[in-house]
Amino acid sequence: MPLETVLAVIGAALIFAIVITALFAPWIAPYGENASVGGAYEPWSAVHVFGTDSIGRDILSRMIYGGRNTIGLAFAATCLAFFIGSALGTAAAVLGGWVDLVLGRLNDLLMAIPQLIFALLILTVVGSSAYTLIAVIGVLESTRVFRLARSLSVSIVHQDFVEVAKLRGESLGWIVFREVVPVSFPNLLAEFGLRFSFTILFVSSLSFLGLGLQPPTADWGALVRENASLIAFGDVTPLLPAGAIALLTVAVNLVVDWYLAKIRRRSAL
Amino acid sequence: MSDNQLLKISGLRVEVPSPKGNSTILHDVGLTLNRGEVLGLIGESGAGKSTLGLAAAGFVKPGCAITGGSILFDGKELVGMDRTLLEKLRGVRVAYVAQSASASFNPSFQLGAQCAETALQHHLMSGNEADARVQELFAEMMLPNPEQIVFRYPHQVSGGQLQRAMTAMAMVCRPDLIIFDEPTTALDVTTQVGVLASIRSIVEHYGTAAIYVTHDLAVVAQMADRIMVMKNGRMVEQATTREMLSNPKEEYTKSLWSIRNFKTDERSRDAEALVMQIKGINAAYGSHAVLNDINFDVPKARTVAIVGESGSGKSTLARVITGLHPPVSGSIKFEDKPLAGHVSKRSRYELESVQIIHQYPDKALNPRQRIGDIIARPLRLYFGLKGEELRGRVRQILQTLELDPDQMYNRLPHELSGGQKQRVCIGRALAAKPKVIICDEVTSALDQVVAEGILKTLVRIQQEFGVSYVVITHDIGLVQAIADEVVVLKSGNIIEAGSKSQVLSPPFAEYTQLLLASTPEMDPDWLTNLLHARAGEKLANESL
Amino acid sequence: MRNLILTRLALAIVTLFFVSVIVFAAVRFLPGDIAQQLLGQSATPENVAALRQQLGLDVPGYISYFDWLGGLFRGDLGQSIATGRSVSELISGRLANTLFLAGFTAIIAIPLGYIFGFLGALLKGTSFDRATNVIALSIISLPEYFVAYVLVVLLAVKTGWFPALSRVSPSMGFLDYAERLVLPSMSLGFVIIAYIMRVTKSSILNVLGEDYVQMAQMKGNSRFRVMFVHALPNALAPIINVTAINLAYLVVGVVIVETVFVYPGLGQLLVDSVAKRDMPVVQAVCLVFAGIYILVNATADILIVLSNPRLRHAK
């Protein structure tokens, strides 16, 4: 088996394990999300695998719940981004004309503001909750999806087979869902993977800055922030949640790389 | 080995290494070439002729590797030669002229600098010498204003001129050998003649040996002293040009030669049976007029050929007829009723009656749809066929096109060859039960043998179903083969229109004659005679 | 071509205008009463009304927008609610610190990114290429604060080579200052090197497949000359683009790194002000960040136009 395939299998296994852990957090985590079950800052032990935090909560349990929150939030935001971005991007390409122009300009405008700054501004005003986070991140990320979906669709729309469909008298629905989307779908799927891993980084950055899910809810970015003071003593525990993020994003990237190579090979045939 | 021998390739094997087993591009091929000799390499795509040509410079494309054999150039072995030594050879003693001049000149540098590069890099000339030499060669290649054109960038110069400049570039260091890789394939025929003449005269003038790679028999007949025929990475046969043309030995060569003989007899139109009438069409892109006052009729069950070179507006005409590009003025009548300018305003019956087949079957078939579904779609949409009836009809259409329904039904387009894909496109058009099919350069992207098969199929379908064709083409040979009526188009104007026998026999319109005269023929003396005739005409004109 | 450049500049100005509207409108029109939030639920209605007046929330939106915009042009960005100090004063010192950190990092990291990219293209398929690929991919997949904290643990806490925190003041000597910049700029630099390397490599490899590169080889050019003289000038557009994105990222990405290292830059000011809901400061900092971002992107687009021979030399 080529190296890329081996890495992709490892990546897929990692994603599977992390997602299962997140889904079944209440059954897997040894303690509750916010239960104070020990003394402050207990070291690693058999009872508390990664020790406890400043108010005696089990860090491993908070990591497991945190994964559930971070991944769930990022997944929802990515789905929203794809729903908005691919629908509008494909529409802009297929309809062309002023629809394309207006949507394109609006998208450029949103992309002209740095994402993190924009998110900070809006979240400061409307306040952070799961819903506002999903909405803000979803809309900001949809600009990237829009760009890709539009450029993919534009190149497809100008192919002769779409011209043939138009000449055949096909409806707009057929052209979009039967001619354009099936061809752009593999690339959009790969982009979904990349966007998802980027969104996890984004969500955790916001949490790290204190604008993610609000305490006492656990999430991977906030866990680093909560326990950051331990780092000054050379304790790496606060880095574990960040490590979990890295593991997940690397795993997603490995699978996406393999998948992209596969669809490139197929289209080169 | 005689002193006269410049190149000797023997047992050459080129492969694409891959973990799943190597695929072989060249199977133990050999050739010899004497000083000053021109060898023509001909074959269809995938024959390995370009690979063999490049190998003469010890070069293989990225991803390929020489896995056996030897390449002796002037007594020196190029296989396994040190890279720096090869670099000293390339451009200096072996030069290369590529197919697409516009893609092979670096867009970032001026033509003169690119032409002088090799001489300067290898310290063979001073800057002034090299510049003078480039200008001299540009003049010799009949480029206008050599002293100005050296400062132009590639995108500022026409395709024909770039091809001339590239030949000049190859000549700068007076190489012993030039490899020409389909140098005129991308050019219009009227441009091609001049470039061919210039290449031939400059090669003769300097006594340079050449390997001339092409798929065009008529072109190679003009250029080569000796011809080698290749197929699937193997040599089929070789002989001197006259011998090869008059007396091919192998079956494959004979089949290549016979393509040019396919021809249908012209049929006159049935009294008043017209399917379509094009009247006074003017079309434009923005303020730029593309078609001026186009008029012609499409008779029932006949073939009308629209012939013209690039920029003639023939593709726009196809878009106007199909309703993708509404005309500025004029009308199209279909079965005596006016046809709306825009496709969205045409009735279902009109849509099914006018079908189009494109040049590139790759782009005309959705890569994610199965062959069976592609052909089934018009049947379902127009005639509401379902279930067994639908499947039966699709199988019937596949069979009409000589495609095996059991194999093809569930395949995706990328699993088919180019010719098979074009047959699927014909099948999709046929499924709509059309009255008129527009064939837009349908054979240009295909190998000649495959193209001939497609033409025969088109002719058979016309006889069977009584459909009319509007054939859009640049190839006067194709017109001669299948047209009943001809429209000659130049810069958006009709030069001449009428029956094939009328348009393609004397007295000619001037442009038609130019087109006809510029189309290479298999006669090895064709180019020489043409140039003599043109020189004579010029003299006659001057003396008047 | 001149028209293209002027159009791009005009577009940047229009974009900046719209961004200022968005930044202003976000505070003004999004749900959530800032005055109420600032004072808490126990505040008397009179106090809330007074604060609303101070924030200009009591006059119609478009009037206070033009007041704000007018102030912007005079360099008067209003007063911070939390400290009462002038916003422009608060920002100017911080901006210098941020630009210094960003510039310091850019000067080192961007050339390194190019070099690794060229090497990757030149040595494609070798173990060097594979190793740098994997490392770059991993770095891109890591959260910025992770890289930062790992550096703190390794180079500050365990070894004591560099200070873990980067509190700097203008009175500090240059060496002290530079020492405190090492860890933050390393944290930023790794990501930049990784991104620039990947794009540089892939854009050169793309161009290497072109016909004119094969022609350059057939003309007897050395491998080095093929790569740098024939391929590179035609691979500039994506390289310029990724450089701009990373320069923009440097200025914006500092938000997190400054927070980790408590470096007194604009990013840290933004995070502090967000926590205090000090809206005049948040708005001003957001606008400065967006302005730099738009400026860098516009510059890159213009450089890309300039690097294209088809646009530089019209027909």
| B211 and B181 together in one domain | yes
Mean pLDDT of C297-302: 88
In angstroms, the CA B307 to CA B472 distance is 6
Kindly give the interhelix angle for B418-431 and B387-400, rounded to the nearest 10 degrees: 130
Give the model confidence (pLDDT) of B143-179 as tens digits.
Answer: 888 999 999 999 888 888 999 999 999 999 999 999 9
Nearest to B413 by CA among A185, A267, A265, A189: A267
- CA B375 to centroid of chain Cα atoms: 28
- pLDDT for the residue numbered C315: 65
Q: What residue in B sits closest to C209 (Cα-Cα)?
A: B62
CB atoms within 10 A of CB B459: 16
Q: Are B494 and B193 in contact (CB under 8 A)?
A: no
Three-class DSSP category at C159: coil
| B207 and B301 together in one domain | no
Give chain C positions within 8 Å (CB) of B83. 223
| B296 and B403 together in one domain | yes
Mean pLDDT of C252-264: 85
Q: Low-confidence residues of chain B, pLDDT below 50?
A: 1
Q: CA angle, corner C177, sides to C173 and C180, nearest 5?
A: 145
Examine the pLDDT at A42 and tell me if it is beyond 50. Answer: yes
In a domain, B4, yes or no: no
In angstroms, the CA C35 to CA C43 distance is 10
Half-sphere exposure of A36 (CA within 13 A, CB side): 7
In angstroms, the CA C197 to CA B20 distance is 31
Give the model confidence (pLDDT) of B275-295 as tens digits.
Answer: 999 999 999 988 889 999 999
| C218 contact B CB<8A | yes
Give the list of residues 6+ apart from residue C122 with CB closer than 8 angstroms, or none.
Answer: C223, C227
Token pair in block for residue B86: 């090869």
- pLDDT for the residue numbered B279: 93
In angstroms, the CA B197 to CA B186 distance is 16
| B424 contact A CB<8A | no
Give chain A positions within 8 Å (CB) of C253. 116
- pLDDT for the residue numbered A269: 46
Q: Are B442 and B454 in contact (CB under 8 A)?
A: yes
**3-state DSSP percent of chain B in helix, strand and coil, to 5:** 40, 25, 35
Instruction: Count up the domains in chain B and report the number.
Output: 2
List beta partners, residue B10: B70
CB atoms within 10 A of CB A71: 25
Contact across the interface for C138 and A246, Cβ inside 8 Å: yes
- pLDDT for the residue numbered C32: 61
Give the list of residues 6+ apart from residue B265 with CB closer than 8 angstroms, or none.
Answer: none
Contact across the interface for B117 and C218, Cβ inside 8 Å: no
In a domain, B364, yes or no: yes
Which residue spans within B321-371 are E strands per DSSP?
329-334, 337-339, 354-357
Give chain C positions within 8 Å (CB) of B96. 215, 218-219
In a domain, B473, yes or no: yes
- Beta-strand pair B76-77/B65-73: antiparallel
Position with higher pLDDT, A117 vs B270: A117
Give the list of residues 6+ apart from residue A192 with CB closer than 8 angstroms, or none.
Answer: A78, A82
- Chain C neighbours among A 188-247 (CB < 8 Å)? 197, 201, 204-205, 208-211, 221, 224, 228, 231-234, 236, 238-239, 242-243, 245-246
Give the domains, in start order, of chain A with CATH numbers. Answer: 3-268 (1.10.3720.10)
In a domain, B151, yes or no: yes
In a domain, B538, yes or no: yes
CA-based nearest distance C40→chain B, Å: 59
| B326 and B470 together in one domain | yes
- Chain B contact partners (≥3 CB pairs within 8 A): A, C
Which residue is it, tokens 């869902």? A177
DSSP B473: E
Nearest to A165 by CA among B385, B325, B389, B343: B343
In a domain, B193, yes or no: yes
CA-based nearest distance C13→chain A, Å: 11
| B411 and B451 together in one domain | yes
User: How far from B436 is each of B238, B246, B322, B341, C256, CA to CA, in Å?
Assistant: 45, 40, 10, 16, 66
Q: CATH number of the domain that B492 lies in?
A: 3.40.50.300
Nearest to A206 by CA among A72, A110, A115, A80: A115
| B484 and B521 together in one domain | no
Examine the pLDDT at C94 and tell me if it is beyond 60. Answer: yes
Contact across the interface for C222 and B117, Cβ inside 8 Å: no
Q: Are B356 and B378 in contact (CB under 8 A)?
A: no
List beta partners, residue C78: none
Q: Are B154 and B105 in contact (CB under 8 A)?
A: yes
CATH code at C97-312: 1.10.3720.10
In angstroms, the CA A267 to CA B232 distance is 24
Q: Are B520 and B218 in contact (CB under 8 A)?
A: yes
A159, A161, A167: residue with CB nearest B322: A167
H or E element: which one contains B76? strand B76-77
CB atoms within 10 A of CB B508: 16
- pLDDT for the residue numbered B166: 93
Which residue range is the domain that position B112 belongs to?
Answer: 91-224+514-544
| B539 and B487 together in one domain | no
| B175 and B324 together in one domain | no
In a domain, B17, yes or no: no
Q: What residue in C sits closest to A222 (Cα-Cα)?
A: C145
Cα separation of the two ends of chain B: 56
In angstroms, the CA C228 to CA C235 distance is 10
In a domain, B267, yes or no: no
| B304 and B438 together in one domain | yes
| B353 contact A CB<8A | no
- pLDDT for the residue numbered C30: 66
The pTM assigned to this predicted structure is: 0.84
| Residues on B contacting C at a C-beta cutoff of 8 Å | 54, 57, 59, 61-62, 83-84, 86-92, 95-96, 98, 100, 103-109, 117-118, 121-122, 153, 155-156, 169
- pLDDT for the residue numbered C37: 67
Q: Are B98 and B166 in contact (CB under 8 A)?
A: yes
| B321 and B190 together in one domain | no
Interface test with B, best of A159, A161, A179, A181 (most B CBs within 10 A): A161
Give every strand in the sheet of B226-231, ordered side by side.
B94-97, B177-181, B209-214, B38-42, B226-231, B234-240
* In chain C, domain spans: 2-73, 97-312
| B378 contact A CB<8A | yes
Interface test with C, best of B87, B114, B166 (most C CBs within 10 A): B87
Q: Are B486 and B304 in contact (CB under 8 A)?
A: yes
A2, A166, A267: residue with CB nearest B343: A166
C15, C144, C164: residue with CB nearest A112: C15
- Three-state secondary structure string covering chain A: CCHHHHHHHHHHHHHHHHHHHHHCHHHHCCCCCCCECCCCCCCCCCCCCCCECCCCEEHHHHHHHHHHHHHHHHHHHHHHHHHHHHHHHHHHHHHCHHHHHHHHHHHHHHHCCCHHHHHHHHHHHHCCCHHHHHHHHHHHHHHHHHHHHHHHHHHHHCCHHHHHHHHHCCCHHHHHHHHHHHHHHHHHHHHHHHHHHHHHHHHHHHHHCCCCCCCCCCCHHHHHHHCHHHHHHCCCCCHHHHHHHHHHHHHHHHHHHHHHHHHHHHHHC
List beta partners, residue B90: B94
| B425 and B526 together in one domain | no
Which residue is it, tokens 């509007």? B470
In angstroms, the CA B11 to CA C195 distance is 47
H or E element: which one contains C145? helix C144-151
Interface test with A, best of B346, B366, B381 (most A CBs within 10 A): B366
Q: CA angle, corner C20, sides to A151 and C97, nearest 5?
A: 95
B62, B121, B153: residue with CB nearest C221: B121
| B437 and B536 together in one domain | no
User: How far from A194 is each of A144, B136, C119, C310, CA to CA, in Å?
Assistant: 11, 56, 26, 34
Query: ipTM > 0.85?
Result: no
Q: Are A206 and A134 in contact (CB under 8 A)?
A: no
